[in-house]
Amino acid sequence: MDARRNAAIYRETLAGHDARSRIVIWPDATHGLLKANAYNFQLIEGWPLSAKLRFVLEGRYAYAPGALDAIMDWIEDRGQDGQASWR
């Protein structure tokens, strides 16, 4: 899979629909935004026990640095615009 090519297709598809939409390629992350060097498995079912234990111990630190913060910022921005009211 070519992440840059796919991102370009999504950008072209979304162009003009919502100026706040962003397509981000997160370096060294899996498709699920986990750190690729530790969690680069196709499916969770394929994780060895050591990866499962590491994930439990790392918690939020299992994710690529900054990824969860970026998602939370995006959600908060949407909420401030009145599009999400969950507080």
> What pTM was estimated for this model as a whole?
0.72
Give the Cβ contact number of residue 78 at 10 Å. 12
Q: Given this model, what pLDDT does residue 10 score? A: 87
Q: Given this model, what pLDDT does residue 87 score? A: 45
Walking along the chain (87 residues) 10 residues at a time, the average pLDDT comes out as: 86 79 87 92 92 96 94 85 53
Number of H helices, E strands in the chain: 4, 0
- Terminal-to-terminal C-alpha distance of the chain: 38
Q: Given this model, what pLDDT does residue 69 score? A: 93
8, containing H or E segment: helix 3-14
Q: Given this model, what pLDDT does residue 13 score? A: 87
Q: Given this model, what pLDDT does residue 36 score? A: 94
Q: Given this model, what pLDDT does residue 81 score? A: 66
Token pair of 86, please? 């969950």
Of 52, 33, 53, 31, nearest to 42 by C-alpha is 31
SS3 65: coil
